Amino acid sequence: MTSLVSLRGEDDTLWAVIATAGRKSRVANVYRSRADALQDSAWRAQQVSAYEDWLRRSRQPVPHYSVAPIRRADLPKKWSPLPALGFLRGQFI
């Protein structure tokens, strides 16, 4: 049995969780629904608050998270999700 799947080519809008530290902003993750993006943003903010003292002592930027719509075409070609605290190898990505 074959089932039909509706693909809407014009709807390429995703919801991005944006990490901002200082003047740098990066897309931390993307979701199809705003509710999922808000949930991820809240989880990331919780992780940052749990480690905020450590981040400040190690002189790492403390990221802040927001949610915004983004088109798939606006994502960088080699984009990959950010870790919860927003950095790898000592650098904010």
Write out pLDDT tens, residues 23-46: 888 899 999 999 999 999 999 999
Q: Which residue has the higher pLDDT, 83 or 91?
A: 83
Of 77, 73, 79, 64, nearest to 17 by C-alpha is 64
Helix (H, G, I), strand (E, B) or coil at 54: helix
The ranges assigned to domains in the chain are 13-72
Q: Which residue has the higher pLDDT, 6 or 15?
A: 15
**pLDDT confidence of residue 24:** 86
Pair 54, 9: CB distance under 8 Å: no
Write out the H or E segment, with its range, that includes residue 42.
helix 34-57
Q: pTM for this structure?
A: 0.76
Tell me the C-alpha distance between 22 and 81, whole Å.
19
Instruction: Tell me: pLDDT of 52 over 80.
Output: yes
